[in-house]
Structure 1
Amino acid sequence: MNWNGVIPAITTPFLEDMSVDHEFFARHCQWQIENGCSGVVALGSLGEGATLTFEEKEAVLKTAVKAIGPNSPVVAGVSALSTDEAVRIAKMAADAGCSGLMVLPPYVYCGDWREMKAHVAAVFQATPLPCMLYNNPVAYKTDFVPEQVMELLAEYPTLVAIKESSADVRRVAALRALAGSRLKILVGVDDLIFEAAMAGASGWIAGLVNAFPAESVALFDASIRGDKVRAFEIYKWFLPLLRMDTVPKFVQLIKLAQEMVGMGNARVRGPRLELTGAELAEAKAVIAEALATRP
């Protein structure tokens, strides 16, 4: 499993009847890899994993593995209401040929450290696959602070990476100082990638990469090389788009961007609805401006 570079949190495409469009999904996975991405993360928040049945999740993972494996890893998002269901998803992902797991805290219930530790530990121990802890206190109300991450690292050898989405770049530096090379740190907030790379992040679980893979890879590579002039040139152009990843309707916005670049459509599953009215017009204007001025 390669936890370096740009790894798309890939969207799940839907046909007009709202079933999964596996033919396009396979092509979309391949397009990401062809443009320099390191692998894909499926079934995450951006992949609308919460709206997919267990059987649909399994089929999505198998499509991704068939499309880009074995040379490019597929990481399965593991999120559920219950610990038992999370363990079941993890085992299914291993059987489907995934190379790693992205482990989320449980949906809805936000418990104390003892409970959250028990939940993610059950998933860490469910398979031999390497795991990436997903820390997103903004969305999931559970915050795995650096000292707790170190406790998990000491006890569970399959934990090797973290997707840090607290939106606080100081967390990247704190984790790097505590864990050294023991933990791969991947930033999960699009409009923090320049700062996070400078602070020591080794990878980017990206959102707008679904529509702009070449630009995302160029930005990340320049940031990692320390080419601040080139990185910031791309970053300045990219920021209006990257900020779309940090608002409640990020799925609708990113899928709209895909539609406007000719790689997907804007369909989303309920409770989400496609953008309309002034909201849609504003988003289209931002994307159109970016397309007209892309570096």
Structure 2
Amino acid sequence: MPAPALKGVIAYPVTPFSPETGEADLPALTRLVGDLVEAGSHAVAPLGSTGESAYLRETEWDAVCETALHAVAGRVPTVVGVSHWSTETTVRRARVAARSGASAVMVLAQTYWKLTEDELARHFTAVAAATDLPVMLYNNPGTSGVDLRPETVAALARKIPNLTMVKESTGDVARFRALLDLSDGALSVYNGNNPVALDAFRSGAAGWCTAAPCLVPDWCLALHAAERSGEHAHADALLEAMLPFLRFIVEHGLPRAVKAGLELQDRHAGPPRPPLLPLPPAPSARLRELLDGLARHPLTGGRAAGRPAPAV
């Protein structure tokens, strides 16, 4: 099964919550997803770890999935994160995503007990068999505790026809080429580690999976455009300018940092859900400095960094 036309900047939205009730704020989610599409993101990926999917009740998860896909309205491809501790719930989520119109689903090895290779293979096979959608395998040992080596991923892809994509987030650039070589180019490879965005593209990655477009879409898209057009020195300069911001949002936790940044931009997404706490005042002040610095940076040509036009 061919992968959907996923390439370029793949934007990961947060899930907004009401500050008063703590419930999912679906109108705010609609606005945020609309902003991402209208800013020019090449694809949207709701319900990743940035979207706090692990903290959602299943009825909430369904509502967030349906709302995000409805907001995209088929304008760009969508990749829905369906991961859960149990195979049963992951399968259920994959089917909901398919019914709601997702282009593909993304599966992380989300575990408590360390899974054997046979258990991982059974889990991924069951999820892939639940729908006809292409599947993106997500390798992020920093959060999952499971490192899916390129050899393991390529072997799984040979056994699972609709496992056509892999998001590799270790930051080990050599893995992008290894995944392509071991799969004879059958796998599309995506980068989930912000600092190596350019190295990943130069090693064959088809796309950059990132939450940064929630706050600075112009910068992310400019970097991709410069790299794609062969303006490598300009792309390098853009990434160098962005790196303090990109490192900050990961180091402070994407839901905390992105929601704090949206608040600073008067685009309210509420607090993260407990046990997560909002970003404290001192880091929030630093985030303001970083965003203001990007807004004033000469590479922006005087435009406000990443602030989309107000929704109408």
Task: Name the TM-score, length of structure 2 as normaliser.
Answer: 0.89
Deviation at 1:10, TM superposition (A): 1.3
The aligned counterpart of 1:79 is 83
Which deviates the most, 156-165 or 213-222? Answer: 213-222
Q: Select the residue among 208, 212, 217 that pairs with 1:213.
A: 217
The reply to whether residue 148 of structure 1 matches residue 152 of structure 2 is yes
Cα shift readout 1:46-87 (whole Å, capped 9, x = no counterpart): 000011111111111111221112232222101112111111
Deviation at 1:210, TM superposition (A): 0.9
CA distance in 2, matches of 1:139, 1:273: 18
Aligned partner of residue 132 in structure 2, secondary structure: coil
The reply to whether residue 11 of structure 1 matches residue 31 of structure 2 is no
The alpha-carbon distance between structure 1 residues 33 and 272, as it changes in their structure 2 partners (threshold 3 A), is: same
Contact 2:111 2:145 in 1 (8 A): no
The aligned counterpart of 1:241 is 245
Contact 2:242 2:294 in 1 (8 A): yes
The reply to whether residue 268 of structure 1 matches residue 242 of structure 2 is no
Contact 1:6 1:38 in 2 (8 A): yes
For 2:13, the aligned partner's letter is I
Q: Select the residue among 23, 42, 45 that pairs with 1:41.
A: 45
The aligned counterpart of 1:183 is 187
CA distance in 1, matches of 2:64, 2:165: 23
Deviation at 1:169, TM superposition (A): 0.9
For 1:134, the aligned partner's letter is Y
Q: Select the residue among 129, 132, 137 that pairs with 1:125.
A: 129
Contact 1:190 1:245 in 2 (8 A): no
CA distance in 1, matches of 2:31, 2:269: 14
The reply to whether residue 115 of structure 1 matches residue 119 of structure 2 is yes
Deviation at 1:26, TM superposition (A): 1.2
The alpha-carbon distance between structure 1 residues 181 and 262, as it changes in their structure 2 partners (threshold 3 A), is: farther
Q: How many residues align?
A: 295
CA distance in 2, matches of 1:245, 1:178: 33
Greater than 4 Å deviation, 4+ residue runs: none
CA distance in 2, matches of 1:237, 1:19: 36
Contact 1:244 1:254 in 2 (8 A): no
Deviation at 1:278, TM superposition (A): 2.9
Q: Select the residue among 23, 31, 39 that pairs with 2:27.
A: 23
The aligned counterpart of 2:308 is none
Deviation at 1:238, TM superposition (A): 0.8
Deviation at 1:194, TM superposition (A): 1.2
Which runs of 5 or more structure 1 residues have no equivalent in the other structure?
none
RMSD, matched Cα: 1.6
Aligned partner of residue 103 in structure 1, secondary structure: strand
Contact 1:252 1:266 in 2 (8 A): no
CA distance in 2, matches of 1:126, 1:188: 25
The reply to whether residue 57 of structure 1 matches residue 58 of structure 2 is no
The aligned counterpart of 2:304 is none
The alpha-carbon distance between structure 1 residues 214 and 278, as it changes in their structure 2 partners (threshold 3 A), is: closer
CA distance in 2, matches of 1:138, 1:238: 22
Contact 1:91 1:127 in 2 (8 A): yes
What is the percentage of aligned positions where both structures have the same residue? 33
Cα shift readout 1:120-148 (whole Å, capped 9, x = no counterpart): 11111111111100000111111111111
The aligned counterpart of 1:224 is 228
Which deviates the most, 256-265 or 54-63? Answer: 256-265
For 1:145, the aligned partner's letter is R
Q: Select the residue among 103, 108, 112 that pairs with 2:107.
A: 103
Q: Select the residue among 76, 95, 101 that pairs with 1:91.
A: 95
The aligned counterpart of 2:176 is 172
CA distance in 2, matches of 1:3, 1:194: 17
Contact 2:6 2:77 in 1 (8 A): no
